[in-house]
A and B are shown apart, each in its own frame.
Chain A
Amino acid sequence: MSTNDSKRTRRAALTAVLACAALAAAACGSADPGAGAAEPRAAAAFTPAPQETGGEILVWADATRVPAVEQYQKAHPDAKIKIVTYSGNANGANDLQTKVQLFDRTGSGWPDVAFSTTFGDVAWASAGGAQGRQPYAAPVNRGVIDKSVLDGFATGALDPCTVGGDVYCVRNDLAQNVLWYNKKLMADFGYEVPTTWEEYRALGEKVAKEHPGYLVGTAGDPWAPEVYFWASQCPASTLTAPKKVTVDLGGDKCTRMATLVDSLIATGSISKESVFGAGFIKEKADKILMLPGPSWYGQVLFASTFKTPDKQIAAASPLKFSAEPTNYTGNVGGGVWFISSHSKNLKAAADLVTWVTTSNDYQATAGTYPAFKQAATAWLEKQKESGYFAEDVSAVFTEAAGLVWPGWSATQYSQEAIYASTVVPALNEGKTITSVLETWETAIKNKAASLGYTVESP
């Protein structure tokens, strides 16, 4: 390099450094993204947009729920509806929030009605955006949907939709966990259905010895924490205020379940795969003896995906720890419907949401357990009529619906995604859940903090 070149380079570097220093010095505002964000608005501040009765409403739903909207359209020929099919935010997708963020910026385009499979969406949909923007979701209890309708939902079903005393979504279905088992196999092997986690563990160890290859559960699904750790009352995330969360995976209630699952993974009776993995469906689906999991496993997993023959699958009550007085269950999903606070057709939107969540015409025939009590009764009746299950599941489903442990809060971040990216790879490397509990806890805390939550220790 010539002397001139060298001088030029030095001069350019100096200029760049000075420019950076000037830029840093020129700062006059805070770069903290939370500094300009408004606190979540009180529902009293909800101001509906000027209403235009008779106009078209835009509805976003996943492919499973689109038939419900089409059925409503058929039953209400005068309703003007435009349907957009999207992911429903399943499997960690984030489409609805992504688009709403953009609509917030452009000031238009929000869907009047949106379905989401993730009730964690309530956390952002009920909160105001930066610069005091109105939250996406309308508080439906503020004159949007009749109180008599909201009162008809199962006890606690609307809790995940409720923020600051107002209801920001309407629950489509419940996803309470039960203990699924293959009644035929259990009888063939001469086993009793367990009622406690201790009995479940003992049976799992017995199965590994007497019938190797048969399974009593899976831990490679993203929703494994919602099946095992939620039921064990492990405080993975408990909201103490709208943006304050307590995370503690070090306590007994977490370690007891981690140890239990680890011991059964070690014997081979709990699989490290996901129930929807191609390999699992091909090779393991007919090896399932028991499977703690959500109510939707019955039709969606055993009947449609695994093609398990009729009259084999039955459901038992959620398990409890013998030292506990009550059995608790987690909640794996359970979709929600939002009505946009920006909608110019609140009445039409409310009518649609009310129909799809409460009408027996649709809910009684849906694949998942309805959150609306009356529809749930009709749905259970249909399940009995279908003749698929080995026993009537009504009593177990109804019992489990009221046993969801309330200590696990709906947050803006997904427990499923964090477990999947932190614990599942570790399991596949041969590590135990117990050995990565701390890493898992740190991942939850980091994610919470990155989304503006204040993380507190218990």
Chain B
Amino acid sequence: MTTLPASAPGHRSGARGTDGPAHRAGDPSRRMGAVFVSGYVVLLLAFGVLPTVYAVWLSISNSRGQLVGLGNFIRTFADYRFLSAFGHVLLYLVIWLGTLMGLVVGLALMLHGRMRRTSAALRFLYYIPGALAGVASVLLWLIMLDPAASPAGWLLRAFGWETLAQVIAPDHLPALFTVIAFWTGAGGWIVIMYAALNNIPDEVLEAARIDGAGVVQTALRIQLPLLRKWIAYMLILAFAAGTQLFVEPQLVSTVSWGMISDSWSPNQLSYLYAFQAGDFHGAAALAVNLMVVGLACASVVVFRAGLFERD
């Protein structure tokens, strides 16, 4: 019979098993952990899980409380605004996620590798716009994008845009929202990626260098694979935020005196269902659609990137 060393995983597992639940419950550090987590759990249940369950119930029922199956979903799929709203957001996501992934990772690698002396100042500079609340940053950009008021008006005129209406033409919106979102949110991600790069042991990078890997090889074969989970994490959160687009088109619509459709994004369409048509069930169906898409994409990323696997 083989005797497992004391440090072997199986042995530790066995030891936990013999300690039993009574011992675990009595462990002060575990109790403290449960206390810390409980606040989050309560808030999650109150403002996350319960509203979600309520939304799912609304989406499969009608105003008389009868079950209608997928009726509300079918009705909203047939809405003349459905495809355009989801199409707008899809296009925005493609541009936004592509730009975010490429530029954030690229800038973080550059700051970490080539610009270590100035990286602290640059990271701080990138981070500052994130301090502005979402609405404030959109308002700021609406001034920046008006050739008559913007300090960069000359640049806009160079593109042939003389008025705000020409700048915020419906076709330009996915790209403009990407610029706004990148300016507001990317700085925080660069800081996080930089911290993640710092976690890669110097010995590993040193070994790669000794093996003849250049900057690009090191980035592609060492750093990016080790950043995989962080990139996946960023992807999931940015995707979730992107599908929830509401403030930006709503504000742009207001300042352009309605030039942008009030159902530009799915969330706006859901808002119209609830508060213009008084149809909370249709609104819930649209919201559930977004949740299902978000959960499906997040699941793919989580499992593909092994986000929940322990190293």
Cβ-based interface call for B215 (8 A): no
Cβ-based interface call for A283 (8 A): yes
Which of B69, B166, B274 contacts A24, CB < 8 Å? Answer: B69
Chain B residues with CB under 8 Å of A416's CB are 257-258
Whether the Cβ atoms of A91 and B257 lie closer than 8 Å is yes
Chain B residues with CB under 8 Å of A32's CB are 62, 75
Cβ-based interface call for B276 (8 A): yes
Cβ-based interface call for A428 (8 A): yes
Q: Mark B250-288, 1 if CB is under 8 A from A, else 0.
A: 000110111111100000000000111111111000000
Cβ-based interface call for B117 (8 A): no
- CA of A424 to CA of B262, assembled, Å: 14
Most buried by A among B69, B72, B146, B281: B69
Chain B residues with CB under 8 Å of A283's CB are 148
- CA of A220 to CA of B165, assembled, Å: 9
Which of A28, A36, A97 contacts B63, CB < 8 Å? Answer: A36
Cβ-based interface call for A93 (8 A): yes
List A residues 405-458 near B (Cβ within 8 Å): 412, 414, 416-417, 420-421, 424-425, 428-429, 446, 450-452
Whether the Cβ atoms of A26 and B67 lie closer than 8 Å is yes
Whether the Cβ atoms of B61 and A23 lie closer than 8 Å is no
Whether the Cβ atoms of B277 and A450 lie closer than 8 Å is yes
Chain B residues with CB under 8 Å of A24's CB are 69-70
Cβ-based interface call for A94 (8 A): yes
Whether the Cβ atoms of A36 and B64 lie closer than 8 Å is yes
Which of B71, B146, B253, B260 contacts A279, CB < 8 Å? Answer: B146
A426 to chain B, nearest CB (A): 10
Q: Mark A113-148, 1 if CB is under 8 A from B, else 0.
A: 000000000001000011100000000000000000
Cβ-based interface call for B66 (8 A): yes
Whether the Cβ atoms of B66 and A94 lie closer than 8 Å is no
Whether the Cβ atoms of A92 and B253 lie closer than 8 Å is yes
Chain A residues with CB under 8 Å of B71's CB are 27, 29-31
Whether the Cβ atoms of A421 and B67 lie closer than 8 Å is no
Query: How large, as a class, is the contact surface on chain A?
Result: 35 or more
Q: Mark B148-172, 1 if CB is under 8 A from A, else 0.
A: 1100000000000011111001100
- CA of A29 to CA of B162, assembled, Å: 54
Chain B residues with CB under 8 Å of A104's CB are 278
Main secondary structure of the interface of B (DSSP, over half): loop
Cβ-based interface call for B15 (8 A): no
Q: Mark B225-256, 1 if CB is under 8 A from A, else 0.
A: 00000000000000000000000000001101
Known pairs A421-B259, A451-B277; A27 contacts B67 (CB<8 A) = yes
List A residues 176-223 near B (Cβ within 8 Å): 220-222
Chain B residues with CB under 8 Å of A105's CB are 280
Chain A residues with CB under 8 Å of B259's CB are 420-421, 424-425
List A residues 1-37 near B (Cβ within 8 Å): 20, 23-33, 35-37
- CA of A220 to CA of B62, assembled, Å: 41
Which of B63, B163, B254 contacts A33, CB < 8 Å? Answer: B63
Cβ-based interface call for A256 (8 A): no
Whether the Cβ atoms of A92 and B254 lie closer than 8 Å is yes
Cβ-based interface call for B79 (8 A): yes
Cβ-based interface call for A159 (8 A): no
Q: Mark B37-63, 1 if CB is under 8 A from A, else 0.
A: 000000000000000000000001111
Cβ-based interface call for A381 (8 A): no
B294 to chain A, nearest CB (A): 16
- CA of A35 to CA of B63, assembled, Å: 9
Cβ-based interface call for B147 (8 A): yes
- CA of A274 to CA of B165, assembled, Å: 9
Cβ-based interface call for B80 (8 A): yes
Which of A35, A124, A429 contacts B169, CB < 8 Å? Answer: A429
Q: Which residue of A lies closest to B62 (CB)?
A: A29
Cβ-based interface call for B35 (8 A): no
- CA of A28 to CA of B65, assembled, Å: 10
Whether the Cβ atoms of B257 and A221 lie closer than 8 Å is yes
Cβ-based interface call for B295 (8 A): no
Q: Which residue of B lies closest to A99 (CB)?
A: B275
Which of A31, A97, A278, A452 contacts B75, CB < 8 Å? Answer: A31
B310 to chain A, nearest CB (A): 21
Which of B64, B79, B262, B278 contacts A129, CB < 8 Å? Answer: B278
Q: Which residue of B lies closest to A446 (CB)?
A: B80
Q: Mark B64-107, 1 if CB is under 8 A from A, else 0.
A: 10111111101100011100000000000000000000000000
Which of B68, B162, B253, B262 contacts A31, CB < 8 Å? Answer: B68
Which of A30, A92, A450 contacts B68, CB < 8 Å? Answer: A30
Which of A27, A92, A279 contacts B162, CB < 8 Å? Answer: A279
B54 to chain A, nearest CB (A): 12
Whether the Cβ atoms of B68 and A420 lie closer than 8 Å is no
Known pairs A27-B71, A279-B147; A92 contacts B258 (CB<8 A) = yes
Cβ-based interface call for A47 (8 A): no
B63 to chain A, nearest CB (A): 4
Chain B residues with CB under 8 Å of A273's CB are 163, 165
Whether the Cβ atoms of A279 and B148 lie closer than 8 Å is yes
Chain A residues with CB under 8 Å of B169's CB are 425, 428-429
Cβ-based interface call for A277 (8 A): yes
Chain A residues with CB under 8 Å of B262's CB are 92, 417, 421
- CA of A412 to CA of B275, assembled, Å: 12
Chain B residues with CB under 8 Å of A28's CB are 66-68
Whether the Cβ atoms of B63 and A130 lie closer than 8 Å is yes
Which of A29, A98, A417, A428 contacts B64, CB < 8 Å? Answer: A29
A196 to chain B, nearest CB (A): 29
Q: Which residue of B lies closest to A276 (CB)?
A: B257
- CA of A36 to CA of B64, assembled, Å: 7
- CA of A414 to CA of B262, assembled, Å: 11
Q: Which residue of B lies closest to A25 (CB)?
A: B69
Chain A residues with CB under 8 Å of B256's CB are 420
Chain A residues with CB under 8 Å of B280's CB are 105
Chain A residues with CB under 8 Å of B253's CB are 92, 421
A-B contact pairs, 30 of them (CB 8 A): A23-B69, A28-B67, A31-B281, A32-B75, A33-B63, A33-B278, A33-B281, A33-B282, A36-B62, A92-B253, A92-B257, A93-B254, A94-B275, A104-B278, A130-B63, A221-B257, A274-B257, A277-B165, A278-B146, A278-B164, A279-B148, A282-B148, A412-B276, A414-B258, A417-B262, A420-B259, A425-B169, A425-B259, A428-B163, A446-B81
* A-B pairs with lowest CB-CB distance, top 3: A31-B71, A29-B66, A27-B69
10 more CB-based (< 8 A) A-B contacts, given A30-B62, A279-B149: A29-B64, A29-B68, A33-B278, A92-B253, A101-B278, A130-B63, A282-B148, A420-B258, A425-B259, A428-B169
What residues of chain A have their CB less than 8 Å away from a CB belonging to chain B?
20, 23-33, 35-37, 91-94, 97-98, 101, 104-105, 124, 129-131, 220-222, 272-274, 276-279, 282-283, 412, 414, 416-417, 420-421, 424-425, 428-429, 446, 450-452
